[in-house]
Amino acid sequence: MQQPHRAEDAAPAGPPRPGGARVLVVEDDPTVAEVVSRYLDRAGHAVDRVEDGPTALSRAAVHWPDLVVLDLMLPGMDGLEVCRRLRARAPVPVIMLTARGDEDDRILGLEVGADDYVTKPFSPRELVLRVESVLRRTRPRSDLRPLAAAGLTVDPAARRAAKDGDELALTLREFDLLAFFLRHPGRVFSRADLMREVWGWDFGDLSTVTVHVRRLRGKVEDDPARPRLIRTVWGMGYRFDPEGQAELP
């Protein structure tokens, strides 16, 4: 008897249409995978669909994606481990799909490097907007001048950052957040400001910003528990202080 067709057995998608990207959708629910793939295809993206983590890793090794839409709950290897292994190979934007209410899992997803998450059930149109927002942030900016302050250097054109000459391993969103802070030293930005300016969203869970600031501090501060560069201004937000001055009272 012929075996039923599985999404991961499909040939890789052809090239994306102009302005589109190659998106790898990793989702074991065939209905969700089909809907997500259809909407992304309509938006001009080339979509590869797979149903489990190992297949996702092997497909990515052959056709490296521009972005991954990754279900958190997968058979055999969960989305967190898939994200870790992808990020160990090379930077790639990741949007995680999670069940509503699994806040701890969403935070873990952000902490292993996911750039965004969407909770199920979700609007496919919203997911497409999130995909395009993340892709915009990964494409070259018009302002590519190098940035430097407090021993930190950022090269937007090369997407490289360093502290005291040692290269930093930053996720795509951490890189954008650091570059934004270096472009605006001494100014206070609320979490909503940062979500709008760095993520490009006028809505969303502000804990996303909190997690990314905490992760970034862990990479750029000498003592992340007592940050001197990315300061919390209580009741207001965050300020990048290249001189390491005391926090506002």
pLDDT score, position 21: 87
pLDDT digits (tens, 9 = 90+) for 29-59: 999 999 999 999 999 899 999 999 999 999 9
Check if the beta carbon of residue 149 is closer than 8 Å to that of residue 182.
yes
Tokens of 32: 């969700």
Q: 0.75 cut: is pTM over it?
A: no
- Number of neighbours of residue 190 by Cβ within 10 angstroms: 15
Walk me through the domains of the chain, giving residue ranges and CATH numbers.
7-138 (3.40.50.2300), 147-240 (1.10.10.10)
Average pLDDT of the residues in 155-177? 90
Examine the pLDDT at 23 and tell me if it is beyond 90: yes
Contacts of 249 (CB under 8 A, 6+ apart): none
**Looking at per-residue confidence, does 88 or 47 come out higher?**
47
pLDDT score, position 246: 42
Contacts of 1 (CB under 8 A, 6+ apart): none
Contacts of 89 (CB under 8 A, 6+ apart): 60, 61
